[in-house]
Amino acid sequence: TILARLLGELEPGQEAASRVMPVHRDLDGKRVVITAGPTREALDPVRYLSNHSSGKMGYALAAACVERGASVTLVSGPVTLSTPPGVERIEVTSAVEMLTAVESCMPCDLFIGCAAVADYRAAAVSEHKLKKTGDAGGLTLELVRNPDIVATIAARADRPFTVGFAAETQSLETHAGSKLERKRLDLIVANDVSLEGVGFGGDDNAATLLWREREGTRHHALPRQPKTALANAIVDHIADRLR
Amino acid sequence: TILARLLGELEPGQEAASRVMPVHRDLDGKRVVITAGPTREALDPVRYLSNHSSGKMGYALAAACVERGASVTLVSGPVTLSTPPGVERIEVTSAVEMLTAVESCMPCDLFIGCAAVADYRAAAVSEHKLKKTGDAGGLTLELVRNPDIVATIAARADRPFTVGFAAETQSLETHAGSKLERKRLDLIVANDVSLEGVGFGGDDNAATLLWREREGTRHHALPRQPKTALANAIVDHIADRLR
């Protein structure tokens, strides 16, 4: 894998810099669990609520961790990506299923919650397809809060080093900083999904890492780059803090 | 195309019977518009409401019509299928966009509304990502009715021969018969999406065709078969009635 990487088994368009980036085995022997992709929340047998997550970022993180010697389980919502070599993949649909799958993988050393978990699901899932009412009026959909997967894992007695993601369209660092505190995460990766060409669906992304130190919240900005390179930069940072 | 078909340029698993099915040019010179796939209704920049339609049935119908000499425009929601050779494809996301695209293609000779159009969209689409409220409570989503694309086309002064689809999980023929009347369709293709292995996502489907004659509503059952073969059987029936 290392040789293949140095010899340039990379997609066109990926930066030359990443071709010669040395691969450290700095996660040797670590158990890593990563969530990726969207979740889908059924309303009835045919309809669902979901989001635009492609899963690319989570899959790139899984590949980066395996290359560094970790044993990686990827808990993935419905995406069209193939599993990176050496990664164990568990497929799930809803947030509740995703949490159950993640909990079945505990304890571990590092948990990265990269999935775009739906915040809400239908209060009641209809067994049959919902029929429209006769009139041309609206419909009120009652939703209930889904479990917060990263916060649940971060609250465990045997908690791993826990990394969350924050996809925002405004006040990026304020919202991400508040999530870091409220969910008791070790690190949060914040990205602005309203920027052109980055975030959901695209191949590039930019991010700001936030974490707490004694003197307060620290920030580190990672510029726009392919998601594979960004995944390596994020894992560099995590591996430093895991030691 | 006819030669290729006869020589067996068919996917494995497709029934031998369809290899030798004669291709009639019974739609020569006809303008056909077909909708396919799901629609996605945005709730905010990242979240949406959608359904499990794969688009396979609509794409198979488009291919079947082109082979019979029609000029075909496929108005498609987000799917991962490639456009059949000779078909013009217009990509749309929401139901409102789909209706606008279909109306821009009028007049035509035959309209097949095969898309699984979302019945509802959000009453207001948030420009920014919706923030969860602080408490662990629920969310009430206000939805409004989407335009009914087949009924809108069937109500035009210059209406084409209009075919609708009814995906049901119960009381198939009652619901489909009532849609046929209410939407003033020429033909409705009813299928039971609760049956194992057919309908949404799968490669097979079974259907019942319903149409009106002087003596009342007529039914014709088409048994379970690959969607490509089923598309041909449906187009056989439509072509007979178009003449």
Q: What does the alpha-carbon distance between residue A48 and residue A4 come to, in Å, rounded to a whole number?
A: 41
- What tokens were used for A139? 């419909």
Q: What does the alpha-carbon distance between residue B201 and residue B128 come to, in Å, rounded to a whole number?
A: 32
Contact between B51 and A48 using a beta-carbon 8 Å cutoff: yes
Chain A residues with beta carbon closer than 8 angstroms to that of B77: none
How long, in residues, is chain A?
Answer: 243
B141–A contact, CB cutoff 8 A = yes
- More confident of the two residues A130 and B18: A130
B225: closest CA among B18, B4, B9? Answer: B18
Q: For the beta carbon of residue B107, count every other beta carbon within 10 angstroms.
A: 12
DSSP secondary structure code for residue B116 in this structure: B
A87: closest CA among A58, A109, A107, A50? Answer: A58
* Contacts by residues A188-192 (CB-CB < 8 Å, ≥ 24 positions apart): A188/A163, A188/A164, A189/A114, A189/A163, A189/A164, A189/A165, A189/A234, A190/A165, A190/A166, A191/A165, A191/A166, A191/A167, A192/A168
- pLDDT of B140: 84
Chain B residues with beta carbon closer than 8 angstroms to that of A168: 129
Q: What does the alpha-carbon distance between residue B207 and residue B104 come to, in Å, rounded to a whole number?
A: 30
Condensed to tens digits (0 to 9), the pLDDT of residues A132-148 reads 655 567 788 889 999 99
A48–B contact, CB cutoff 8 A = yes
Catalytic status, residue A51? yes
Condensed to tens digits (0 to 9), the pLDDT of residues B150-188 reads 999 999 999 999 999 998 877 888 899 999 999 999 999
Q: Say which range, A58-62, B98-102, B136-140, has the weakest mean pLDDT.
A: B136-140
A17–B contact, CB cutoff 8 A = no
CB pairs under 8 A between A and B: 103
Q: What is the ipTM of this complex?
A: 0.74
Q: Which residues are registered as beta bridge partners of B188?
A: B164, B210
State the Cα angle at A137 between A134 and A141, rounded to 5°.
100
pTM: 0.80
